[in-house]
Amino acid sequence: MALMITDECINCDVCEPACPNQAIYQGELIFEIDPDRCTECVGHFDEPQCVAVCPVSCIPLNPNYSETKEELLEKYKLINL
């Protein structure tokens, strides 16, 4: 699954530089995550870095994007060619 940022986001900007896939960007109101680039840090780290640094815990799994760990690893490989 990709992650998503909820409207509890306080725009603190700690998540964007923590993302190794450059999947996080400033949206119209809050930061957002591009589900096509988000691998939940599979291939880079043992846990999602944005979740680890978020001070308000506003980055849950996105229920609209269900992916297995194997699918996330394949996405990682495509993004990081």
pLDDT digits (tens, 9 = 90+) for 30-69: 999 999 999 999 999 999 999 999 999 999 999 999 999 9
Average pLDDT, the chain: 95
Residue 5 confidence (pLDDT) above 90: yes
What confidence tier does 1 reach under pLDDT thresholds 50, 70, 90? confident
Whole-prediction pTM:
0.92
Domain with 35, as residue range(s), is: 15-79
Q: Please state, in angstroms and as integers, the Cα–Cα distance from residue 75 to each residue in 2, 12, 18, 68, following that order.
A: 11, 28, 18, 11
Is position 7 within any domain? no
Whether residue 27 lies inside any domain: the answer is: yes
State the CATH number of the domain containing residue 38.
Answer: 3.30.70.20
Q: Report the C-alpha gap between 2 and 60 in whole angstroms.
A: 9
b/e per residue, 8-34, with b = 16+ CB within 10 A?
ebeeeeebbebbbbebbeeeeeebebe
Query: Which residue in the block uniquely carries the two structure tokens 């194997």?
Result: 70
Q: How confident is the model at residue 76 (pLDDT cuts 50, 70, 90)?
A: very high
Beta bridge partners of 26: 31
Q: How many domains does the chain have?
A: 1
